[in-house]
Chains A and B, each alone.
Chain A
Amino acid sequence: MCLGIPGEVIELMADHPDLAMVSVEGVKRAVNVGLLREDGNGHEPGRLDLIPGDWILIHVGFALSKIDEKEAKASLEWLTGVGDAYTDELDALAASDIT
């Protein structure tokens, strides 16, 4: 039920303001992006900060949030850092000799 999958926006559908074609590993599905659109003023639909190439989180056919590339990069860098510190430790352990 918590199932949320990251997918890439391929195309915003011009004739359906709340729909975008999204791809998950080459599997394409139309997703409703209405929850990412600001409220309109009654005459026009509100602003949608989404372009092809953006990544979104999909849950039961709706986009819940846009994936923040900067945060994603930061978290991956942190993880890599932890990994490097670990391998450095292991290398140091292997190289040290307290006898």
Chain B
Amino acid sequence: MKYVDEYRDAETARALSTAITALCEPGRRYAFMEICGGHTHTIYKHGLEDHLPEAITLVHGPGCPVCVIPMGRVDDAIALAEQDGVIMTSFGDMMRVPGGRGSFLDSKAQGADIRMVYSPLDSLKIARKHPDKQVIFFAIGFETTTPSTAMTVLRAAAEGIDNFAVFCNHVRVTPAITAILESPDLRLDGFVGPGHVSTVIGCEPYEYVARDHGKPIVTSGFEPLDILTSIYQLMKQLAEGRCEVENEYARVVPWAGNPKALAVIDKVMEVRETFEWRGLGWIPDSAMRLRDAYAAFDAEKIYSVPGVRVADPTACQCGEVLRGAIKPWECKVFGTACTPETPIGTCMVSSEGACAAYYNYGRFSRSRVKAAAQS
């Protein structure tokens, strides 16, 4: 595949790995956080940690928009799905996320009309096809996905479709980064920055990370060589005493982002004063809702949702994993009560979550595997 395979070459990986190791100061340890769930996924899927020296640790950040949806909001979505005459549509990632009483999949088994879609446009198509039903799109995602929802609402408005609505749970990435930066147990040397979010917001919004908090940040692509290159660039900055925003993903990310996409978001949506993030708590200015002008497409205005808050179980340590304070296997319920099949918390719920990625891909003793590979 063009623009994909070239960035998965093992030979180049070994070369980069050597170059990275050469930049390590003797006796010093380094910790870099990758924000995006997609980066976490790549790291585990390709076994990228096998290419890094022991001195470098990767800490998995909160950039998984499925993981951060509080259980109470999932319950709200299920309540919407269970209304008469509603067809609920959602990305596949959300189907198994449990709320306080069960998941979409459980609700579907009990008779709710819940359908998986690949795009909000597919949801609009269903609305056109079933004018007698109310179609609701469960909108999740960072700024990568927000413009697509906004464009779909505009399309619905332009076509005069009156049975399409959005349950808006779009979140913003910089407030999450700030929450990490302000947490007291922060021990990071730099960030592997969000990739596809940056195609929309550009690289400027990250300047405060370098300028005000003294941490270098490199916007990174999603192929394994992209991530290794970003780590190389971070190490180079540290070695040369620089602290800047760099763009490793320039082939896809324009420095100024996508002004049209930003304009479309701004036309249809506004920033909520505050929003609850599972594992991170209430964060101001961190999420979006539809503007009053588009109230006809706002599921929360058409229906009233229960709005009950559901707390994470007492044993759940997702907050610490999301902030990078502990590794997945250091959580007391990891792998026993909390597995991908029976997820207790955020980090296990989505396949991009740190705990799910480690459980599904990285969960083996590296020393035994090395021994087996050499035999």
Residue numbers of A with Cβ under 8 A of B are 1-6, 8, 24-25, 32, 34-39, 55, 57, 59-62, 64-65, 67-69, 71-72, 74-76, 78-80, 82-83, 85-87, 89
In the complex, what's the smallest C-beta–C-beta distance from B162 to chain A, in angstroms?
Answer: 21
Contacts A1-B38, A64-B261, A86-B14; is A57 near B199 (CB within 8 Å)?
Answer: yes
Contact A1 B65 (CB under 8 A): yes
CB contact between B120 and one of A38, A60, A67 (< 8 Å): that residue: A60
Sample of 4 more A-B contacts, CB < 8 Å, known A2-B36, A86-B18: A1-B350, A6-B1, A75-B250, A86-B15
9 A–B contacts, CB within 8 A, in A order:
A2-B38, A5-B4, A6-B3, A35-B148, A38-B260, A62-B148, A64-B199, A76-B6, A82-B19
User: Of the candidates A1, A4, A79, which one forms a contact with B66 in the assembled complex, judged by CB atoms under 8 Å apart?
Assistant: A1
Instruction: Report B-chain residues with C-beta under 8 Å of the C-beta of A4.
Output: 144, 195-196, 199, 222, 252
Q: Would you call A6 and B2 a contact (CB within 8 A)? A: yes
B84 within 8 A of A: no
Inside 8 A of A89's CB, which chain B residues have their CB? 18
Cβ contact within 8 Å between B148 and A83: no
In the bound complex, how far is the Cα of B2 from the Cα of A5, in angstroms? Answer: 10
> Do A67 and B3 touch (CB < 8 A)?
yes
- Residues of chain A within 8 A (CB-CB) of B37 are 1-2
- Residue among B37, B197, B258 with max Cβ neighbours from chain A (10 Å): B258
Residue A59 contacts which of B14, B19, B144, B248 (CB distance < 8 angstroms)? Answer: B144
Q: Is the CB of B4 within 8 A of A6?
A: yes
Residue B141 CB within 8 A of the other chain: yes
Contact yes or no, B196 A36, CB < 8 A = no
Q: Which 4 A-B pairs have the closest CB atoms?
A: A2-B38, A61-B119, A86-B15, A72-B251
- Map CB proximity to A onto B248-287 as digits: 1 under 8 Å, 0 otherwise: 1011111000101101100000000000000000000000
Which residues does chain B contribute within 8 Å of A39, judged by CB atoms? Answer: 260, 263
Chain B interface extent, by class: 35 or more
What residues of A have a CB within 8 angstroms of the CB of B350 in the complex?
1
Bound CA span A8–B1, Å: 11
Chain A residues with CB under 8 Å of B57's CB are none
Give every chain B residue within 8 A of A57 (Cβ-Cβ). Answer: 196, 199, 252
User: Which residues of the other chain, B, contact A74 by a CB distance below 8 angstroms?
Assistant: 250
- Kindly identify, within residues 189 to 231 of chain B, every residue whose CB is under 8 Å from any CB belonging to chain A: 195-197, 199-200, 222, 225, 229
The reply to whether B119 and A72 contact each other, CB–CB distance below 8 Å, is no
Q: Convert B25-48 into 0s and 1s, putting 1 for each residue whose CB lies closer than 8 angstroms to a CB of A.
A: 000000000001111010000000
CA distance A95 to B118 in the complex (A): 55
- A60 partner residues in chain B, CB cutoff 8 A: 91, 118-120, 141, 145, 148
Q: How far is the CA of A71 from the CA of B148 in the complex (A)?
A: 25
A2 to B250, CA, bound (A): 17
A86 partner, pick from B19, B199, B250, B352, beta carbons under 8 A: B19
Cβ distance A84 to chain B, nearest Cβ, rounded Å = 8
Most buried by B among A35, A75, A85: A35
CA distance A36 to B261 in the complex (A): 8
Q: CA of A69 to CA of B251 in the docked complex: distance in angstroms?
A: 7
Residue of B nearest to A56 (CB): B252
Do B19 and A65 have beta carbons less than 8 Å apart? no
Q: Roughly how many angstroms separate A1 CA and B41 CA in the complex, as a whole number? A: 10
List A contacts of B352 (CB < 8 A): 1-2
A4 to B141, CA, bound (A): 13
Given contacts A6-B3, A60-B148, contact A65 B12 (CB under 8 A): no
